[in-house]
């Protein structure tokens, strides 16, 4: 559940989490090129959903 919340806050809302201090310098290039991590997170979530469905079917 926490992973899904952090995914939403980071990749769907596309802003920095509140746990980061706004006064610190940001590396804008890293924020602009993190699209690959968005797709990786989707693959991980899809994989977890498949495993969850498999386990439910095995009961």
Whether the predicted pLDDT of 2 surpasses 70 = yes
| pLDDT reported for residue 16 | 59
CA distances from 54 to 4, 16, 36, 50, 59 (A): 20, 34, 27, 6, 9
State the pLDDT at residue 15: 63
pTM value is 0.52
Q: How many domains does the chain have?
A: 1
pLDDT at 20: 59
In three-state secondary structure terms, 27 is: coil
Task: Give the range of the structural domain holding residue 25, as residue numbers without chain letter.
Answer: 2-58
Q: What is the dihedral of CA 12, 4, 15, 27, to 10 degrees?
A: -110
- What are the pLDDT digits (tens) for 11-58? 777 665 566 566 667 777 877 888 888 888 889 999 999 999 999 998
């Amino acid at each position: 559940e926490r992973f899904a919340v952090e995914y939403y806050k980071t990749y769907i809302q596309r802003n920095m989490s509140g746990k980061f201090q706004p006064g610190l310098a940001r590396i804008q290039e890293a924020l602009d090129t993190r699209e690959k991590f968005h797709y990786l997170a989707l693959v991980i979530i899809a994989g977890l959903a498949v495993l969850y469905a498999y386990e439910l079917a095995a009961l």
